Structure 1
């Protein structure tokens, strides 16, 4: 069932484009995979200029054709750093946020990015800010609001934020929140409730956990595996379906470089979980997501 996101009504299962990095040696395959996603009804793509040092945005630019009604969401707060220990560096200062938006616009070939998420760096999982990268929220929101007023971005989202930061940001008009969240990592339940109350879309990343060392894995849970067997689905599909059932404002952006997994992820949007299955999944204990990850 479609749901609002940044002033649009889009399918609740989108596509997170980060995994396209792995197809760097075969750009044609990356474009074909994204075209297949569009054919299957995906109309929301999540990206960033630091994914593959611009490669992923170039793929999106090539894949989207005139007439495609696809909402592109990007993020700022980090820039590519191909020679670094991880391929990104924080870019939290207002002038860096503006430059990142301009880089995204050029790479995507757009005059306006429908949704741009401000990726904060004051909580885990993620790289924590220090030194001149410790930037106040008000200064960041000022430049994001200016970019929206200039028509360069359509809506402002937040990523990797605390409940206090979200509350402080509400007057600026927040369209969505992207935080690490899944069946076994429900630290942000209070924030999700606030998003429901404020009609803010909830776009969880690491929806199945386990993306990096130190995170538990949703598909290892006995209750998830039992539900998958009972419904003839994969454990990953059950984990994604639970997120959609748990809150009406949830949009998913699972990423994959596999056409088979792409189809499975999209099909998760059609899974119906009955009350008994939901109760069994809801009873799975939550574990902390407080680990130092990208």
Structure 2
């Protein structure tokens, strides 16, 4: 287990009183030494009750008490718990430690009535979805449902998009997508909570409907694509959304499944037109990423096969 680096502030002290860096192991406190006694103006608060696999965290509380504009004026204990959560429950934490330990730590903060930020739950759910196991996906959905009553009742657009995309990508190609579940989440996000979707959100819901392989939901995917381009235009008639390669790829997922050659040809023609427009705009906006690639053409060939 790696050690922890401790640095005491030296402002206001003469050179003989300045503190130095010390490496110590949490289970060997005898390795920690300082040249001067701990000042009452700069007490050290040792964060306890940490999961055994995590190095002990040493945080310094200075005088005057720690204040942060985004935090309400709360007790020192609440502030320390918040800082500890923010330190450990970062996106990197879920890469370094096991998912089981991460989930246990999340629940411990919930028990202390100091839940982790929503982006931490998003990181945990993303990590669970990244594993090609049905049990991990079940845990991800359980965590999403569990988070709402105990921590964050209203997910943000990023988390909704993640869950909708999960509906489009089952654990195996043997299983179909879940368009009904995706549309329920979409309605909840855009209608109930009135959150503004992103291009990525539209791509996720279009993909979930298109990969169903049924004509009804493929038609719904095209309806959502039209909504993406038409329903949010400004006074000049300009849409804030621009279809990208993922948008067209999602639509092709639908046309190739139902053998809709007419729409497949239309999608390819639209991509060629937008590519030509991008080439004309390179002088103003710089190099543009081409829309048509090998993957796109593979979908087109599958539709005509």
Q: TM-score normalised to the size of structure 1? A: 0.29
Higher RCO (C-alpha 8 Å, min separation 6): 1
Higher strand share: 1
Point out the structure with max Rg over C-alpha.
2
TM-score normalised over the length of structure 2: 0.28
